[in-house]
């Protein structure tokens, strides 16, 4: 089978497509023939290397994917050969207190495919049966491959951490990013007013198509004032942040009294400043969020099947063009996700 390898950290030229034997499913596992795998910024970080983080090399990237079950390992029940499934991006033992409480993503042993261990950018993968979720009838597996990581992360931010309520106002920073586009749709489906930011006219148009009530140009130095005006002047109950230093000050400025800023990352750097008087006088909260609980997947897939959520796919390419996919994503030449089809 074809497998994408990161043999060493570096630019996209380090990526290799190699041939490895098709694995056999062990007890409690299923063998999945991958139908589609999407590319995330996480794959770029795994390839580049992350300061202070030692990744197991060679590493197979890819945390998002869908496929069809081709073989059942011993002891597997409730699944059948031929079933189309989503492969979950996360892994945990299932035995920790957080696991048992439904918060597997908070477990000390939680890991992500394609970062902490081999991922899904290959033709076949043997995976524990509890980490595959059957796709609802009629759901396209290729576009669905663009959803697991970003929708689970956005769900964790808005539903689990911020406890978003109908009628609240939400600002989504970088609204056409994977997490941004998912956050817009989740918030609108919950009955909220959503304002999104984006740096180009095409991206702002996409924000509106995804359901945002307004779209603001975050390349405008005055964007916080424009966003506040779009909120009706009171600011936002929830701000979805994942950019960091480049937008943090503005994000805090537009946060309303009793508002919650929730962040899952910092693509422009790790360090930000907080003005404590604003934080405590306005009774605001700053919340960290990582991934989301795996028990959200049935609800997310049901929303996809109903059309309430939709994946944003820029293009579909053969998996053999993984290097080009990384180059396109790094140069910001995509509007949405790149999905790769293994075996082509």
Span 196-233, pLDDT tens digits: 999 999 999 999 999 999 999 999 999 999 999 999 99
| The pairing of beta strand 90-91 with beta strand 2-5 | unpaired
φ and ψ of 323, to 5 deg: -60, -45
Q: Please tell me the distance from the alpha carbon of residue 244 to that of residue 173, in angstroms, as a whole number.
A: 10
Q: Please tell me the distance from the alpha carbon of residue 158 to that of residue 25, in angstroms, as a whole number.
A: 36
Location of each CATH 3.40.50.720 domain in the chain: 151-288
φ and ψ of 246, to 5 deg: -65, -25
Q: Please tell me the distance from the alpha carbon of residue 258 to that of residue 234, in angstroms, as a whole number.
A: 11
The DSSP code sequence of 90-144 is: EE--S-SHHHHTT-GGGSTT-EEBTTTB--S-BSEEEEEGGGEEEPPTT--HHHH
Of the candidates 241, 258, 273, which has an alpha carbon nearest to the alpha carbon of residue 171? 241
Question: By the 8 A CB rule, do 118 and 23 touch?
Answer: no
Prediction pTM value: 0.94
Question: Residue written as tokens 């009838």?
Answer: 137
Question: By the 8 A CB rule, do 75 and 27 touch?
Answer: yes
CATH architecture entry for 2-146+311-341:
Alpha-Beta Complex (3.90)
Q: Please tell me the distance from the alpha carbon of residue 34 to that of residue 54, in angstroms, as a whole number.
A: 27
Location of each CATH 3.90.180.10 domain in the chain: 2-146+311-341
- Return the CATH superfamily for domain 151-288: NAD(P)-binding Rossmann-like Domain (3.40.50.720)
Residue pLDDT tens, the chain, 344 long? 999 999 999 999 999 999 999 999 999 999 999 999 999 999 999 999 988 889 999 999 999 999 999 999 999 999 999 999 999 999 999 899 999 999 999 999 999 999 999 999 999 999 999 999 999 999 999 999 999 999 999 999 999 999 999 999 999 999 999 999 999 999 999 999 999 999 999 999 999 999 999 999 999 999 999 999 999 999 999 999 999 999 999 999 999 999 999 999 888 888 999 999 989 999 999 999 999 999 999 999 999 999 999 999 999 999 999 999 999 999 888 888 999 999 86
Question: By the 8 A CB rule, do 303 and 309 touch?
Answer: yes
């Amino acid at each position: 089978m074809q497998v994408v390898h990161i043999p060493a950290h570096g630019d996209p030229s380090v990526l290799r497509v190699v041939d490895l034997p098709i694995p056999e499913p062990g007890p409690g596992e299923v063998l999945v023939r991958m139908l589609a795998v999407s590319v995330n910024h996480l794959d770029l970080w795994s390839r580049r290397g992350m300061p202070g983080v030692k990744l197991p090399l060679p590493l197979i990237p890819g945390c998002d994917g869908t496929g069809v079950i081709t073989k059942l390992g011993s002891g597997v029940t409730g699944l059948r050969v031929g079933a189309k499934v989503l492969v979950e991006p996360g892994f945990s033992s299932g035995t920790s207190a957080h696991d048992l409480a439904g918060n597997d993503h908070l477990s000390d042993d939680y890991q992500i495919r394609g970062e902490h261990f081999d991922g899904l950018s290959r033709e076949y993968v043997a995976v524990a049966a509890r980490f595959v979720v059957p796709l609802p009838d009629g759901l396209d597996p290729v576009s669905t491959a663009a959803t697991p990581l970003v929708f689970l992360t956005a769900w964790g931010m808005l539903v689990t951490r911020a406890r978003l309520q109908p009628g609240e106002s939400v600002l989504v920073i970088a609204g056409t990013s994977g997490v941004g586009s998912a956050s817009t749709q989740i918030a609108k489906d919950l009955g909220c007013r959503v304002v999104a930011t984006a740096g180009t006219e095409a991206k702002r148009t996409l924000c509106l198509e995804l359901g945002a009530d307004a779209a603001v140009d975050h390349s405008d130095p005055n964007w916080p004032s424009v966003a506040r005006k779009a909120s009706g002047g009171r600011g936002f109950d929830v701000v979805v942040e994942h950019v960091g230093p480049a937008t943090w000050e503005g994000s805090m400025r537009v946060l309303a009294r009793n508002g919650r800023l929730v962040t899952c990352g910092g693509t422009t750097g790790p360090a930000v400043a907080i003005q404590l008087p604003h934080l405590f006088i306005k009774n605001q909260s700053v919340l960290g969020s990582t991934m989301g609980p795996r028990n959200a997947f049935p609800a997310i897939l049901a929303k996809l099947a109903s059309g309430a959520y939709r994946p944003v796919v820029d293009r579909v390419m053969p998996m053999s063009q993984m290097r080009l996919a990384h180059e396109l994503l790094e140069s910001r030449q995509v509007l949405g996700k790149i999905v790769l089809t293994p075996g082509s």
